[in-house]
Amino acid sequence: MKTKYVQSIICLVIIFIFANQAWATDWKYYALDTSDSVHFYDERSIVHLQGDTIQVWTKWVFSKKQKESVRTVEWPELSKAQAEVFAKYKRTDYVVTLSEINCATRTIQGLMEKQYDDNGSILGTLDKESLSKFAKHTGESPYITPESIDEMLYDIVCKKVRQNPKQKRGKSSLNKE
């Protein structure tokens, strides 16, 4: 009887270990920007949608310098709800973004972004529409600029998809959130 109990506990532990690995993120470093903030992508999240379109989750960990510059930014043309989210943005430690990249047209767009504080608590979430308005307000182009952080990500993830065209074909990660 005691042996069965021990075996059951061992089986449960093994199941939890493997279940955790199946859902775990696999953050890979890809860039250090001019404000010394660090950029990662989740290798396991790369999903090849249709044609040349892929989705990937990225993580942007703010440096002290970045945090200081974010606190001085103002966004006057936002709705009240968007302004509240961006006010929380000023306390952000890191940002996790779901991006869609078209490898053929060299374009990128944010589909969802979550801001986290230094305790890992979510400060706010921005949807595709809010991210699009923010990009328009800041003059960001959907086209990937040469020698940019976006181009570094593009080079990595599009290369992975080209090398393995059957890589994790699927549906948008937005359906999982």
On the question of pLDDT at 54 being above 80, the answer is: yes
Q: What does the pLDDT read at residue 6?
A: 41
- Ranges of H-type helices in 24-75: 64-70
What is the model's pLDDT at position 102? Answer: 96
Is residue 170's pLDDT more than 70?
Answer: no
Spans of all domains in the chain:
26-172
- pLDDT at residue number 144: 96
Average pLDDT, integer, range 8-26: 47
pLDDT tens digits for 146-161?
A: 999 999 999 999 998 8
Q: Assign 58 to helix, strand or coil.
A: strand
Q: Which CATH number fits domain 26-172: 2.40.50.140, 3.40.50.2300, 3.40.50.720, 2.40.128.710?
A: 2.40.128.710
Q: Which residue has the higher pLDDT, 51 or 170?
A: 51
Q: How far apart are CA 98 and CA 60, in angstroms?
A: 12
Residue 130 confidence class, pLDDT cut points 50, 70, 90: confident
SS3 (DSSP) at 157? helix
**CA torsion, ordered 165, 58, 175, 160, to nearest 10 deg:** 0
